[in-house]
Amino acid sequence: MKYNYDPESNILTLKIANRPYEYAEEMGDFIVHFDKKNKPVYIEILNANKFIKKAVNVLPKSSIKEFYPQISV
């Protein structure tokens, strides 16, 4: 999995497969891109700072620092 955080747009992107996507669905602050077989291949998390701050309570601290080094945990 590859990921990128853009602090200017506050979007966290997760590339979870090396397949082209056919369509996307928006689910709140998440945009999930699916391939022809309806498998997710790419995820965009809008308002990522809010998501990460909530995720701090359920994810290991090392994971939070890896995805979002600006946050203090």
What is the distance between the alpha carbons of residues 47 and 32, in angstroms, rounded to a whole number?
Answer: 15
Question: What is the tens place of the pLDDT at every residue in 35-57?
Answer: 999 999 999 999 998 887 777 77
43 touches 16 (CB < 8 A): yes
For residue 73, tell me if it sits in a domain: no
pTM: 0.75
43 touches 30 (CB < 8 A): yes
What is the mean pLDDT of the segment spanning 6-26?
Answer: 95
Domain that holds residue 7: 2-67
For residue 72, tell me if it sits in a domain: no
Number of folded domains that form the chain: 1
For residue 20, tell me if it sits in a domain: yes
What is the distance between the alpha carbons of residues 40 and 54, in angstroms, rounded to a whole number?
Answer: 23
**12 vs 36, 37, CA distance in Å?**
24, 24
